[in-house]
């Protein structure tokens, strides 16, 4: 009985967080797009750095 109550609580809490997350995304959509646009350059740079590091480790082997 207690395990079922804990499982039901987790499902309800998860649904509440999903709803709050969706409301947050809808409310702050323009700011979210600015963050995504700003992160693209950093992500591309980190991927390039990773590729260079991997290629150097392949050359050493």
Q: What residues contact 32, with CB distance under 8 A and at least 6 apart?
A: 25
What tens digit of pLDDT does each residue of 18-33 get?
999 999 999 999 999 9
Average pLDDT, stretch 14-21? 97
Q: Which domain holds residue 30?
A: 2-60
Q: How many domains does the chain have?
A: 1
Give the whole-angstrom CA distance, residue 27 versus residue 34.
14
pTM score, whole prediction = 0.59
Give the whole-angstrom CA distance, residue 21 versus residue 53.
37
């Amino acid at each position: 009985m207690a395990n079922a109550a804990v499982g039901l609580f987790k499902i309800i809490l998860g649904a509440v967080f999903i709803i709050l997350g969706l409301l947050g995304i809808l409310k702050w959509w323009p700011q979210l797009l600015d963050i995504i646009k700003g992160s693209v350059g950093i992500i591309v740079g980190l991927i390039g750095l990773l590729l260079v590091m991997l290629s150097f480790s392949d050359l050493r082997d």
